[in-house]
Amino acid sequence: MTLPPLGRLLGLETEYALRTPDGSEVQIESQRDAYNAISAQLRSTLPCADADLTYSGKVGIFLATGGAVWFESLLPSLNTGLIEGATPECVGPRQAIVCQRAQDRLLCQAAAAHGIDLLKNDCDAQDHAYGAQENFEIEVFSASRSDHWAGQVVVFLLAVLALVTQLLAVGVLLLLLLTLPLTALIYRCLSALGRYRDDRSRRAGFDFWIGRSWREGWNGADIPIGGWAARLILGVIVTLVMPLSLAMWLLVLPTRLGSMHRKLAPFLATRLIFAGAGRLDRRGRFHLSDKAFSKRLVAGIPEYAHGFFSLGQVLKPVLSIVRAGEILNSRQRVQIAVGDSNLCEEAEYLRVGTTALVIDAIEAGYFDDPIRIRRPVAALKRFDRDPTLQATAQVVEEGPRTAIEIQRMFWKRCRRYLDDVHQMGKPTDAAADVPDQRKTRVTEAEDILRRWDDVLSRLRQDPESLIGRVDWVTKQFLLQQTEPHGSAAARKKIDLKYHQLGPEGYFSKFAQTDYPVRILCPDEIERAMRMPPPDSPACRRAARIREFSRTGGKASWKT
């Protein structure tokens, strides 16, 4: 079934960096404590329900808005991790951006109540990448028998590999646990030989060889083994899972993404010219994107190599009995991980909206003769390093083209697709859409095309006219105005403070001027801070959360 323009489900995920301001009286011991404080504040603001661990596999809460807030633990300590917000399922880019802005505001207010600052960025000062992901529902299996047979083969092979991997991992874990008495003996021998001369070194040695939990008492937040064992277990598990991951990559890529990843990759490699958030690297050089540097493949698994598309979520149904059947669904969630977290409303709207429109055109057959560039990952990094927008990539059968020219090629295909939709006078599946909804979506698609066209023209002629509309242009302007010849540390502070949510953030201060272009109404955001988006699967979940939150009910994306 071909959907009408902008008729697919989509959602956004955002990982937020945490910081406690200098001189703050609030003491936050760990990221886990920060998550607990923020989630408790959210519970006092609106109805919430704990996430069902059997489905999600991680700690989190669902809100009465239909969205969720997660704590992404980083082993070996369950106290260390990231806070992630996920919008409810939305229909249309504008709805998704409204929910994203509502989520930003809810989390910012909850964090501020405990003296915590949130940064909506994608890279820290040590070049660790995280940040934004976009999720789009696409059709991966048709109704044909061959597609379903191929899907069943994939599930069977992955299930076998998953079982073998889990058995090996359990075996390694048991073997390492049996060595704990030996590690205790090693620690005692080292102590007797004078290796640890003071209390601090003795505590560090105990934690490394035996484990902090055996010294302080297990608090449920640390794995009760020594640091060496935790690192070894993680290394062994990652190594054991590698064959499974490789098999998943080889088997799932053609059936899960089909040709979508090849047709969409040139668009994603060039989208940063209007969707990039900007970044200063360690040498003080300015880049268009906050995390383009971290990409290694078009489709990757985060534990091994970051890609334009993240296949990490494919592994979850394979390793979960509860969710195993999901991999055979004809429509699947595809996660795009190459985009930045935006502060400019229009940049975020275009990042999501243009991508949704290109996917619509791909599914409608307008990219059966695809636009192809050689080595898209290398092209992404080349464009990222060139704020002058003069860098080129080799387009197959076209020759070298700039990112603006490649984006214009995608714009023309989408323009032709939408013109044909107008000529047809009805959506391709009229029964799936009522006239008012269709009219709204086509109007939104036209708005996206108009803004896309205008931004591409301005990038070619006068990029500075996009201050307040495109993040990298805005950040570059602030750097030039405030610290044009400042130290690397001073300029990096501006880079990071640009992304801070709340009144002390540099973009927030800049937003008080006449520069930023606003496309959302305050009333839209206020409503989304309390209610789920209309005509969304999240409505049922939100209703159940409101009804059962006081009785300890749990929720999941299937609720």
CATH number at 440 reads 3.30.590.20
- Name the average pLDDT for the chain: 82
**How many independent structural domains does the chain possess?**
2
- Nearest alpha-carbon partner for 452 in 321, 550, 361: 361
HEC readout, 343-386: CCHHHHHHHHHHHHHHHHHHHCCCCCCCCCECCHHHHHHHHHCC
d(Cα 101, Cα 202) in Å, to the nearest integer? Answer: 48
| 56-91: pLDDT as tens digits | 768 899 999 999 999 887 655 556 778 999 999 999
Contact 500, 21 (CB under 8 A): no
Highest mean pLDDT among 4-8, 296-300, 316-320, 383-387: 383-387
- Nearest alpha-carbon partner for 359 in 94, 88, 137, 133: 137
Phi, psi (degrees; rounded to nearest 5) at 56: -85, -35
Are both 187 and 106 inside the same structural domain?
Answer: no
Are both 187 and 67 inside the same structural domain?
Answer: no
Are both 402 and 462 inside the same structural domain?
Answer: yes
Output the pLDDT for position 303: 61
d(Cα 436, Cα 433) in Å, to the nearest integer? Answer: 8
Please, which residues bridge with residue 443 across strands?
Answer: none
Label residue 146 by pLDDT band (50, 70, 90). very low
| 370-422: pLDDT as tens digits | 999 999 999 999 999 999 999 999 999 999 999 999 999 999 999 999 999 98
> Is 71 within the bounds of a domain?
yes
d(Cα 240, Cα 236) in Å, to the nearest integer? Answer: 6
* Domain boundary, last residue among 190, 206, 240: 240
Output the pLDDT for position 214: 46
Biggest CA–CA distance in the chain, Å, is 86
Ranking 1-5, 114-118, 354-358, 457-461 by mean pLDDT, the lowest is 1-5
Are both 110 and 197 inside the same structural domain?
Answer: no
Contact 344, 469 (CB under 8 A): yes
Strand pairing of 295-300 and 306-310? parallel
Domain with 179 in it: 156-240
Ranking 243-252, 324-333, 349-358, 505-514 by mean pLDDT, the lowest is 243-252
Contact 87, 100 (CB under 8 A): yes
> Is 526 within the bounds of a domain?
yes
Are both 287 and 392 inside the same structural domain?
Answer: yes
> Is 25 within the bounds of a domain?
yes
Contact 555, 545 (CB under 8 A): yes
Are both 128 and 171 inside the same structural domain?
Answer: no
* Domain boundary, last residue among 189, 212, 240: 240
Which residue's structure tokens are 């760990």?
Answer: 30
Are both 262 and 400 inside the same structural domain?
Answer: yes
> Is 62 within the bounds of a domain?
yes
Between 436 and 546, name the one with better pLDDT. 546
Read off the pTM.
Answer: 0.85
Output the pLDDT for position 159: 63
Are both 170 and 136 inside the same structural domain?
Answer: no
> Is 525 within the bounds of a domain?
yes
| 109-138: pLDDT as tens digits | 999 999 999 999 998 877 888 889 999 998
> Is 245 within the bounds of a domain?
no
**Type of residue at 351:** R
d(Cα 451, Cα 458) in Å, to the nearest integer? Answer: 10
- Straight-line distance from the first to the last Cα atom of the chain, in angstroms, rounded to the nearest whole number: 25
Which residue's structure tokens are 């069977």?
Answer: 156
Contact 99, 67 (CB under 8 A): yes
d(Cα 103, Cα 118) in Å, to the nearest integer? Answer: 12
Query: Which structure tokens are listed for 494?
Result: 């501006």
Are both 226 and 87 inside the same structural domain?
Answer: no
Label residue 220 by pLDDT band (50, 70, 90). very low
d(Cα 288, Cα 474) in Å, to the nearest integer? Answer: 11
Are both 180 and 120 inside the same structural domain?
Answer: no
* Domain boundary, last residue among 240, 268, 294: 240
d(Cα 215, Cα 196) in Å, to the nearest integer? Answer: 16
> Is 151 within the bounds of a domain?
no
- Nearest alpha-carbon partner for 303 in 380, 243, 376, 245: 245
| Cβ-based neighbours of 317, under 8 Å, separated by 6 or more | 323, 324, 325, 326, 327
DSSP at 259: T
> Is 34 within the bounds of a domain?
yes
Query: Which structure tokens are listed for 201?
Result: 């070194």
Output the pLDDT for position 548: 86
Are both 468 and 551 inside the same structural domain?
Answer: yes
DSSP at 248: H
Are both 233 and 322 inside the same structural domain?
Answer: no
| 447-506: pLDDT as tens digits | 999 999 999 999 999 999 999 999 999 999 999 988 777 788 889 999 999 999 999 999
On the CB side of 290, CA atoms within 13 Å amount to: 31
CA torsion sign, 541 to 544 to 548 to 554?
A: negative
